[in-house]
Each structure stands twice: as C-alpha cells, then as structure tokens.
Chains A and B, each alone.
Chain A
Amino acid sequence: MGEREYDASSYVPPAEVGEMELVHPKTFIGKYIWSQDAKVIAIQYVITATSIGLVALVLSLLMRLQLGFPNSLTLIDPSSYLQYVTMHGMIMVIYLLTALFLGGFGNYLIPLMCGARDMAFPYLNMLSYWVYLVSVLLLVVGFFLPGGSTGAGWTLYPPQAINPGTPGVDGGIILMLVSLAAFIIGFTMGGLNYVVTVLQARTRGMTLMRLPLTVWGIFMATVMALLAFPALLVAALMMLLDRLLGTSFFMPGMLSMGELSSHEGGSPLLFQHLFWFFGHPEVYIVALPAFGIVSDLIATHARKNIFGYRMMVWAIIIIGALSFVVWAHHMYVSGMNPYFGFLFATTTLVIAVPTAIKVYNWVLTLWRGNIHFTVPMLFAIGFLFTFVNGGLSGLFLGNVTVDVPLSDTYFVVGHFHMVMAVAPILVIFGAIYHWYPKVTGRMLNDTLGKIHFWVTFLGTYAIYYPMHFIGLEGVPRRYYAYGETTFISDSVQALNAGITIAAFIVAIAQVLFLFNLVWSYFRGRESGPNPWQANTLEWQTPHTPPRHGNFGEELPAVYRWPYDYSVPGAKHDFIPQNVPPEEVEYEESSKSGGRA
C-alpha cells in the first residue's frame, strides 16, 4: 500500500470473467456499418444525434426569427411555430442529449474506461443503434406528412396532443409516439448493456470506487433511464390507444372542435404524472453524465485529483435516487391536489444539497491546482458557471410558492435552457475536444476551438440570462406573437430582437465547430496516445485510435484510483491507473519516503 497515494495497491485480484470472444468482421460494411464494436457504434450514435440535433437547431432559429422579427417569414404561422417548439424540445432532450451522452459517450468510454474488450453484449449493442436510427427516421418522416409533425408542445399534454385542431394530429402525433416507443426499446437494449458492462466486465483491480466519475455518471444515468423510460413508454402507448382506438385513458368527456367528443372519463393529469415521472429523472439522465465527464475534464486539465471523490460518487447516487421523488414540481400549477406542493417542494430543494456539494467539489478541485486553459478546460469552466446559474434559478422554480407566478413564463425557458441545454452541451463540446485525439489520433484545431468556446459561452449567456427577467414580468412562453398587452413592456420586443441576433451568431459558431471536426480529421496535429497526460485507461491503449478489442493482447490491470495527479514526490504529475506502485518513478529527494 502506498502512503502518498490515496487509493493504490499492488494487489490485483484474478479475473472473474473469462476473456470475451469478439466477432472480427473482414468487410468494410461489417466494420463500419453493421459493426458490433462499441466504439464504431458510439460514432454512429454521435453522427446520427448530431445530424438530427442540427435540425432542432434550425427549428430554434426559426422560432427566434419569429419572436425577434415577427412575421418576417410567411413560412412561420401559428401552427408551424408550435411544431417547431415541439420538435425542437423533443429532439434536443431525447434524440440528441440522451442519445449522445449514453449511446455516444457511454459506448465509447464505458468499455475503455472499465478496461473491457467491448460491451457485454455486442450484438444487442448494434441492434440498439439501429432501432435508435429507426426512431429518428420516423421522427423525420413526421415532418413530411400532410399536416406535418405534432405541435402539441414537447410535453405532449393530452387532451391537446390528440385533439382535432392541434397541428399534426392526423399523423404527426402518431409517428411521434411510435418513434418514442422505438427510441425507448432501442435505448433499453443499449442501457442494459451499459449497466451489465460496468458491473460485470471491469478489468482486474478496477473496483467500483476506482471507476472514473465519467463512468459513474453514465452508469447511474443509465440505471435511472432504465427505470424512468418505461413510464414514458406506457404513457405513449396509452395515448396511441386513445388516439387510434378511441380509448379514454387521458381523455375526459369534452368538446372537440365545438362538438362533444367520444371520449369519457379519462384523466389528463394521469399523463402528466407519467410524463414527469420520466421527465424529471430525464433531466438528471442528461446531467449526471455531464457531471461525471466534467469531473474528469477538470481533474485532468488542472493536474489535480478530484476533490472528495467518495462524496462525488455518493452525490451521484443520491441525486439519482432523489430525482425519482420530485417529478410533481413540474405540476405545481397543473391543478393536481395543491397539498402535494409541500412534499414535492421539500424533496426538490433537498436535492439541491448533493448538487451543491458537487459544485463545491469541482471548484475546490481547481483551487490549488495547476490549471491549463485548454479548450476542454474552458468548456468545463463554462459548464460550471452556467450550471451554477441554472441550478440557482431552479431554486426559484422548485420552491412551490415562488413557482406560481414564474411557471409557464420565459423564466422557465431561461432556467431549463441554462441547466439542461447549455450546461450539458458545453460538457459535450469539452468532451469532444478532450477525446477527439483518442478517437481519431489527431488534435482538434486550438484556435478554432477557442473561438467556438467564447462565442458559444458568451452568446448563450446573452440569449438566456435576459429571458429570466422578461419571465418575471410575466411574458408567457409558447406564444407565437405577443400582440397588444398591458403588462408586457415595449422594450421586450427590442430584447427579443437582440436575443435572436445572439442566437444566430451562436449558431454560426457551431458551423465553425463542425468544420473543425472535419478539417482536423485530415489535417489536425497528430496527438500521440495520451496528449493530455491523463490517468484513465482509455489513454493507455496500445493503439490510437484503439482497435477492436481495445487493449491489444492483454487487458490492463488496475492498481489505483483514476485521480493520481501531482502525487507528492512522483516524478511526473500523473500516474496512470495501470501503473503498479512499485513502478512509479519518484524524484531523487523523496525516495527515502518509504515504499511498500
């Protein structure tokens, strides 16, 4: 046992599970299309999610155009505006963020960071991607149906969602629900894989408390997703039955286009409970991987161990568990029994404690570090700042009384974009700059990266910060136009125009990023196997990019936790996880320190 190191040991237990046999395809199609290699599947996820995400980005620009410069495009009418609102939200939350973090980063990093050859069930993993692709394609088809995609809002609240008169009620909503069901089925295949891999396929010596926080974040998010998505699945199926067979799960007796509808006795609130039982954990399904990844980015680029590792792991677990008992804070003014407010406000604010601890620990990790302002680090700091902002505004909305005037206003739009859109996206960018060298063997261009960071970071702040204030004034969200009101000041229009301009500038910066991705693939500086001098196993592979099977002839054995940065006396400021204590090189002066 080392004295200087926090968690290092020469003893490595024997392998519990035998080596897995991998299918090594010979053809191009087998290698890159019908691939069972988690790394290729990860890239497939990333490309698909990014492509559909770009569609959602364009939709948001169209919305901003209408809000900033009303009626400048005849293409945007009230129905199409609501369709943009719906599809933008749905795509960004589920088809982009969830797929990117779990399907993309999960697939690439879990086997590598755990020291596994591949996912536990490679074939199922491949199937997971293809079902995901089908769900995305179904979504895309929806755009081209007569009547277009659904315009029910991304929350798809009934009765609206399936009521005649709502945009896309003929086909769009059906495809949306089927696509969601497909997504969930595909995700379940992948999710079971991630969980089993983390629990069963870790290499020798990789105890749970030696896992990098990235894996912890993705693992916990996957467990949560496996528990939360079924609620959405049943809600989607029940709504499909209501829409197609005329059942009345969510549909009460009501008027529909001025006529009495054939439904009777259903509960619209039931859907909201099911939706948010999924929907709130979903926030953390996106946030926890971001938490994990940002921890690793900060530790690596500040050359410092993560502060309070055990606390960080427990915080992830506690946040994951608590997030299942806060869902109705989305429903304070939904008309549910208002006495629920007491319980849900309390649980919601309690969850702020472990979340705050994570923030402290990130900041304390930077304190007395040696901070390299690399592009990944810039994005990590950008995340910290944005997340603090979004987290604090969450304390307004989670606190039931405060929520009453603010719900359904631009305060909410500002809050959730900060906390669950911009913050995770900044981490995704940081992670891409960080791991791109491992995936391609080349560095991304630094200058382009810095421009990308500054425009995105400052731009998103300019977009979302002022929104909170017009929300305070009471400006409602999901409005196609504001018309004449007595309570909205005229200056709101000027602000909206400014926000729109900022949004377009930020969008242009993303084009720069895409260009960087492509350009660096061919022209980027060669990175070598471990350009950031990081400790985790993915940087210790014999080949860069890692080949199928990840670690060559022999799997690495793990002797220490992943955060041995700047260990006192050690010659280098990092000691990879697979370096046994006796092989650590020490400075001459400290050799007398006494080693086991």
Chain B
Amino acid sequence: MAMAIALIVLALGSVVFFFLSPWYLTPLASNWGAIDHTITISFWVTGVVYLAITFFLAVALIRYRYKRHRRSLYEPENKKLEVWLTVLTSLGIAALLAPGLFVWGSFVTVPDDAHEVEVVGQQWHWSFRFPGEDGELGPVRASLISDDNPYGIDPDDPRGQDDILVRSPRLMLPIDRPVKMTLRSKDVIHNFKVPPFRAKMDAIPGQTSYFWLTPTKTGEFEAVCAELCGIGHFAMRGRVEVVDQQTFDEWLAGKPTFGELAAREPGDPEAGAEHFARCVACHGPQGGGKQETNAPRLAGLDAEYLKRQLRNFRIGARGTNEADRFGQQMRPFATSLQDEDVIADLIAYLETLPVESTRPTIAGDVERGKRLYRTCASCHGPEGQGMPAFNAPRLAGMNDWYLVRQLQHFREGVRGRHPEDWYGNQMVDMTQILVDEAALRDVVAYIGSLSEAPAVADAGRQSAEE
C-alpha cells in the first residue's frame, strides 16, 4: 500500500515538478524551434506512457496486495494482448522517431546561402576564422601552427591569404543569415555550445565537423565547451554577439586577414626603448618592477600577454573597478598607447630586458602551495614559465606582492569580470580554489620558490644575452 501511494505521489510530483520547475530550455535564439518541438513531443508521448504505466502499476499493487486466501491468476500467455501492446508501442515509437528524423534531415543539410565561419577550439579558449573575399577558407595543417601562424594556415595557398582571423573568443554573427559553423580543434576534443542556439557539435583535431543555424535574436550569448577537454574545461568560455548586418560588417572589417598578419613588420627594440621612458618611473629602469610604486615586473612577460593587458586597460576591461586603485593608475598610460606599431616596438624592447630574480616578501607553506599549484601548472607551466599557447603569462620571478594582489582581485572579481577580459574570466573561476588567504599566500610562496630553480635562471640569462 505504501509502495502504491509512493508511486502515485512520485508520478504526480514529477508532473507538478515539470510544470513548476524554474529550470527549462533557455529562450530560443536561433531557427531551431523544430528541435524544441521534438522535445515537447517527446515530453507528451513519454509523459502519457509514464503516467499510464505508473498508475497501472499502483492500481495493481493496491488491488492485488497480499491476502491470505487470494490466489493469483494462472495465465502464462495472452497472445492477443501481447500483439496489441507491441503494435501500440511501435506506433508510439514511430510518432517520436518520425519528427526526429525529419528535423535531422534539415539539421544535416546546410542551406546554399549560408555564410561560413570556422570555430577553432584549443585548451581552453576559442578563436574564429572567416573565409574572406574568395568565400573559401584556406587549407590548414597542424604542423604549420606557430606563434606567427596561430591557425596553421598554409602560407603558399592563395585561398588562405584573405582569411579573416578573430583571435579573441568573441564572435559576432549577423542576424537572420544562415551560418555554417565549421569546427576544428588544435589539440583535444572540444564542443562549441551556445545553449539558446540549441545546435552544437564537437570540434575534433585532425578533421573538421559542422553544424548550421540562423540566429534570430540580437544580443549576447555565452558559449561554453561541452566536451571534457582537461582541467580548464569548466572555464572554457566564449561569447557570440548577434547583431545587424552593418555592425557585423564593420566589426569584421576591423579584423586582420592572414596576409596582413604575416606582412606585419616586427617591432623595433631601439624605438621601443624611447617609448619605454614613460614607463620607467613606476616599473623601474629595467622593467623589473617596484613595490614602492606598486608596479609589477614587465621583463619576461610574453608579447601577447602584454598586448592583451594594454588593450584591456585601454578599453576599460581592466583598471576600471574602484577597488583596483593601482589598475586605475595604469589606465591613462595605456590609453596614450594607441598605435599598433608603437606597442610592437615597446614589446620588442621589453623582450631584450634581463629577467632578474625578485626578492621574496611573502611567506607561506610551500608544500601546500605546491599542491595548489598543480592546477595553475596546466596553463602557466610546471616551472611557472608561462605558456603563450594557453594565454598564460609567466609567473616565476614575478613580484610576489603583485601576485597576491592580483589573485585577490581575481578571486573577488575585481579583475577579470569584465566581459572583454576573456582570459581574466577564466582566472576568476580558477582562483575559487584558493579558499582562504593562507591558500593564496601558500601558492604565491611556492611560485616564489620556482624563480630560484636553475631552469628559470637559465632562461633569464638567455634572454639577457639576446
């Protein structure tokens, strides 16, 4: 009896939960309403079957519960009933399958007028490529990937020269135009998922895959990775902004083509030395950082990171939070650096500066810090050397007081919350593992111990010789 009541309560409760639950499909923002319909059909068909079976079961439990003198019916088979049930079930299944296959037919057929965008997955960020004027993406090879050719585009193939590269995890799409998303991965398997679009697909290394959609709503949508891709999986985010055609065209026009990127002149360190004059007051003559002025060391940081941070300061993605006092001081200097060439020169100069070790000011439990650092190591490298491929700057040898402050800022969302600070967003998620102040100091203390390692000292000497 209790069992029958439990079943009825569970069945009814499940239905009530279904209707009252605050959790359901996100509002649709693409043409894939048909997918939502198949889900609705599935709910109806399975819901009816679920209730029918559960109630039948409950009634059986109540009516035929044990009684001393009751005797079960002896009925090994009932052909007619069995055939009926089989036929009915088959019809129900067909009712589910037919619309599913029908919609799948359109899912796999990309409309002829669709424009194309390539989504490139990489641990743990997204980048994009548009085919340019010839309407065709240039061929790529993993073996061609380098700092100068991040997509691995074949430089000898004319089709690749006009490809437009979007290296930030922020994509714009024009509204009401079908788009074919071609997916590729540089390392492990990822999955580009924007929940309100419904459609998604894995991005696999060594081959391409695709899906298509037509964005139907303007606005900003979050993209996440839906296929386990390593420890940063949960923090692999991106954004898709759906805009009108004109805004899209303007945005795309501002992005470099592969040809332009390849033709860009390398920076001139001598010119950079002159530009650096304005930085010296705070960051020190050798870019070694100064605690008195709260300015971190710049020597040893990779070019992409420096560029990105200058941009973040310039556009207000960093240094605008009131709690980030020293970041606010940096903003006017960054805003004065507008010219791409000036920045390139400046960075070229910074790369010539020696990486000298810094004086430790923070004490902490190095052993615990080492354990905590395991997570950091996957992007910043086991020696804290930084890995530009992961958009992770060098940590070893960085002033420890600066690291502590930045970690605090990340953890509290003072830094990294701005939607344009793509990798800062990841750090906000990552720093949550530093549960208290002690953990934070421990990990910084461990990072401090890394700069004493001989490997790092060697690296420093090398760049000094250069």
Residues of A participating in the B interface, judged by any CB pair closer than 8 Å: 4, 6-7, 70-71, 74, 77-79, 82, 151-153, 157, 159-160, 163, 165-167, 252-260, 264-269, 302-305, 307-311, 333-335, 338-339, 341-342, 345-346, 349-350, 352-353, 356-357, 359-361, 363-364, 366-373, 378, 381, 384-385, 388-389, 392-393, 395-396, 399-402, 404-409, 457-458, 461, 465-466, 469-470, 472-474, 476, 478-487, 489, 491-492, 495, 563, 565-568, 573
Contacts and interface: CB of A to CB of B under 8 A. Distances in A.
B428 A489 contact: no
Contact of A400 (B100, B189, B428): B100
Contact of B108 (A165, A339, A359, A563): A339
Contacts of B208: 335
A79 B72 contact: no
B93 A371 contact: no
Contact of B189 (A70, A266, A268, A307): A268
A566 B200 contact: no
B73 A474 contact: no
Nearest to A465: B14
Contact of A370 (B66, B89, B204, B225): B66
Contact of B387 (A257, A269, A474): A257
B188 interface: yes
Contacts of B56: 363, 367
B234 A480 contact: yes
Contacts of A360: 85, 89
Nearest to B430: A78
B207 A309 contact: no
B49 A392 contact: yes
Contact of A269 (B74, B204, B374): B204
Interface in B211-238: 220-222, 224-235, 237
Interface in B17-51: 17-18, 21-26, 34-35, 38-39, 42, 45-46, 49-50
Given A254-B205, A333-B201, A363-B56, A408 B226 contact: yes
Contact of A408 (B99, B203, B227): B227
Given A253-B206, A371-B66, A345 B101 contact: yes
Nearest to B34: A401
A399 B38 contact: yes
B152 to A, nearest CB: 9
A308 B246 CA distance: 67
Q: Which of A269, A353, A404 has the most CB of B within 10 A?
A: A404
A409 B21 CA distance: 17
Interface stretch (B3-11, B345-353, B393-401): B3-11
B73 A404 contact: no
A534 to B, nearest CB: 14
Contacts of B187: 159, 163, 254-256
A466 B17 CA distance: 8
Contacts of B71: 303, 370, 566, 568, 573
A473 B23 contact: yes
29 contacts: A6-B74, A82-B228, A160-B228, A166-B230, A253-B142, A254-B187, A254-B206, A265-B206, A308-B76, A308-B82, A333-B202, A335-B203, A335-B208, A353-B89, A356-B89, A363-B60, A366-B60, A370-B71, A371-B64, A395-B42, A395-B45, A400-B100, A401-B104, A404-B198, A474-B195, A483-B428, A491-B22, A491-B23, A566-B71
A222 to B, nearest CB: 27
Contacts of B229: 160
